[in-house]
């Protein structure tokens, strides 16, 4: 019986990570799939790479394969040691037909009967899972705060990336408190699997559109609030907008422009809700009459103040 170098078949190094192995498998599946490939001997090569991935794509099988095969090369004569048993219990291997596997594979793994999980993670399942897909969805800040439902269209694709039909409509629930950059997983809405394997998942990356009034940092909201000089100097109770509705906030006497006041728990909801920070912006009205200009002149005489004193001017 000939030894099969599964690493060579997939074109990866022995120290390759699981992600590298998965990428190599998908690339070869696209190249040699009998339904689309024009390569010579595509069906045989497709079976070989499926078998290689059956082993290297499973950490336990890969470990067992590495224990036996480190000193062999592709095509060398090979027999497993007499005491070898891939002992994960009797019965129930993955349901891919026996004709899909070589004698080499059968001698290593069928004798001990691996415990019945395919790449999809389902006992007794068939085939190989489809690739996950990624897309982006834009929402308003109000949707992130309250939660929403959105209807989107996606293009179904088979295991090798070909469009299979017209666009499919999906209803997506946007959870309250979703953050910018967070992903929403739609199970089974990615690419189709091979040989009746389960489809991949669709991951929607949430992007929150800029808001005309609020700035979002994590779960916290920031709002610039204009106030009059007398509200800042004397203190006042003013109405402040929040995403849950207006609230009344007290401005302390002597408040300064740029000063931040916190409204606890008024940011995005979550296990720990964010806060809303109100940034005071003192705005002086323009004098429009002689009497109003006289009031400013009287203030300048009676309240001498140099806000640039700290600059030495």
What CATH number does the domain containing 40 carry?
A: 1.10.287.110
Please give the pLDDT value at position 194. Answer: 66
Kindly state whether residue 162 falls inside one of the protein's structural domains: yes
Structural domains of the chain, count: 3
- Judgement on whether residues 231 and 295 belong to the same structural domain of the protein: yes
Q: Does 181 share its domain with 139? A: yes
Average pLDDT over residues 248-277: 96
pLDDT of residue 66: 81
Report the percent of the chain where pLDDT is more than 70: 81
Q: Are 46 and 29 in contact (CB under 8 A)?
A: yes
Instruction: Tell me, yes or no, whether 120 lies in a domain.
Output: no
On whether the CB atoms of residues 129 and 190 are closer than 8 A, the answer is no
Q: Which domain range does residue 155 map to?
A: 133-208
pTM score of the predicted model: 0.59
Are both 238 and 204 inside the same structural domain? Answer: no
Per-residue pLDDT of 135-193, as tens digits, reads: 999 999 999 999 999 999 888 776 556 677 778 899 999 999 999 999 999 998 988 87
Q: Last residue of some domain: 208, 236, 268?
A: 208
Query: Tell me, what CATH number does 268's domain have?
Result: 2.60.260.20
Tokens of 280: 């005071």
Instruction: Let me know if residue 124 belongs to a domain.
Output: no
Among 282, 242, 245, 289, smallest CA distance to 262 is for 242
């Amino acid at each position: 019986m000939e030894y099969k170098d599964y690493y060579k078949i997939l074109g990866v190094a022995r120290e390759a990570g699981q992600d590298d192995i998965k990428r190599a498998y998908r690339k070869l599946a696209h190249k040699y799939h009998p339904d689309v490939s024009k390569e010579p001997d595509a069906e045989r090569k497709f079976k070989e790479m499926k078998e290689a991935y059956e082993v290297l794509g499973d950490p336990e099988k890969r470990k067992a394969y590495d224990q036996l095969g480190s000193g062999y090369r592709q095509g060398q004569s090979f027999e497993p040691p007499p005491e070898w048993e891939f002992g994960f219990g009797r019965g129930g291997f993955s349901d891919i037909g026996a004709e899909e596997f070589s004698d080499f594979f059968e001698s290593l793994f069928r004798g001990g009967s691996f415990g019945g999980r395919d790449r999809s993670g389902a006992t007794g399942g068939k085939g190989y899972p489809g690739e996950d897909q990624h897309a982006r969805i834009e929402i308003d800040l109000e949707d992130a705060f309250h939660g929403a439902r959105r209807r989107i269209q996606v293009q179904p694709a088979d295991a090798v990336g070909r469009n299979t039909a017209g666009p499919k409509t999906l209803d997506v629930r946007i959870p309250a408190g979703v953050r910018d950059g967070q992903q929403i997983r739609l199970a089974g809405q990615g690419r189709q699997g091979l040989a009746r394997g389960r489809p991949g998942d669709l991951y929607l990356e949430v992007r929150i559109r800029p808001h005309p009034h609020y700035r979002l940092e994590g779960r916290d909201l920031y709002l610039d609030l204009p106030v009059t000089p007398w509200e800042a100097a004397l203190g006042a109770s003013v109405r402040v907008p929040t995403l849950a509705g207006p609230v009344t906030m007290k401005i302390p006497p002597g408040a300064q422009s740029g000063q931040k006041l916190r409204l606890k728990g008024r940011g995005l909801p979550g296990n720990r809700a964010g806060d809303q920070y109100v940034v005071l912006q003192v705005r002086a009205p323009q004098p429009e009459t002689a009497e109003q200009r006289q009031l400013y002149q009287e203030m300048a005489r009676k309240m001498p103040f140099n806000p640039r004193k700290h600059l030495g001017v």
